Amino acid sequence: MRVVVQRAASASVTIDGRVHGAIGPGLLVFVGIESADTSADGAWLAQKLTRLRLFPDSAGQMNLSVAEIGGGILLISQFTLHASTQKGNRPSFNQAARPELARPLYEEFAAQLAAALGRPVATGVFGASMQVALVNDGPVTLCLDSRRRE
């Protein structure tokens, strides 16, 4: 699994003109699932994401996790994170998992994140056309890959 994580002052996802999920301070997480991914990838990422020290402490140092600040997580599926642009100008998505594999892993990952965070996470809808709004805080943006453990 590959994620792009952004520290947010607020974030929301709108589907068909209605807000489906929203958070205040916390993390906006885009996740791409590839064919070789398993629930172990989600478990590792859930622990990593909820423990990453990305939020400032009283001295202004990034020493607090999303769990420690009581922040939210908005999780959005995004197969395009596994795009390859090696050949030509049209991205290839061959590495991205097919929906029948990716959807259950996405749903399990949302549950793993909620368990690690200790409260529900907001989500988009797998496969839907979504509009994501973000007030990026910092900005702070990281990319993590469960295969590389980074």
Catalytic residue, candidates 50, 78, 112, 123: 78
Q: Enter the tokens of residue 58.
A: 């009283």
Residue 59 CA to residue 63 CA, distance in Å, equals 9
**Per annotation, catalytic residue among 30, 79, 109, 126:** 79
Share of the chain residues as helix, strand and coil, in percent rounded to the nearest 5: 25, 40, 35
38 is catalytic: no
Query: For 32, phi and psi rounded to 5 degrees?
Result: -115, 130
Two tokens at 126? Answer: 């797998």
78 given a catalytic annotation: yes
CA atoms of 118 and 4, how far apart (whole Å): 21
Residue whose token pair is 């390859």: 84
Residue 47 annotated to the active site: no
Provide the token pair at 26: 């916390």
Rg over CA atoms, the chain: 15
- Number of residues in the chain: 150
Tell me the catalytic residues: 78-80
